Structures are given as C-alpha cells and as structure tokens.
Amino acid sequence: MATEAQKKASANYAKKMTKCVNLAFNKKTDADILEKLDQVDSKMGYIKKLIREDIAKSEKD
C-alpha cells in the first residue's frame, strides 16, 4: 500500500510530467476505429506508434 506521501508524490509527478488527452468516438461513424482499438493490446501504445510513424514520414518529405 502506498503511503500518503507516496500518493502525493505520484500525483505531483503526474501533474508536472503528463498530459491527459480525451478522445470521443461515435459508435456508428467510428465503428471501424473502435473495432481496431479493441483488437490491440495497448491502445495508447498503438496510437503513439501511429503518430510517431506519421511524424517520421512527415520529416522525410
């Protein structure tokens, strides 16, 4: 179990070092995207990989 000090330190770190991005998908029009995201092990990892691939592609152009 985490102590109160550990919880506070973790919250402080998260506040300083992370940013939360919330995405909303329409179940009808984005069904293909939602289906693909349900198939991958890590949604965040998959999205990050795609974005980094796009950045690399853009840098080549």
Distance CA 54, CA 48 (A): 10
Helix (H) or strand (E) holding 55: helix 43-60
Q: Residue 61's pLDDT is what?
A: 83
Distance CA 42, CA 50 (A): 12
Q: Quote the pTM value.
A: 0.78
pLDDT in tens, 1-60: 899 999 999 999 999 999 999 999 999 999 999 999 999 999 999 999 999 999 999 999
Q: How many CA atoms lie within 13 A of 26 on its CB side?
A: 3
Q: Give, as one character, the DSSP assignment of residue 5.
A: H
Token pair for 4:
């109160």
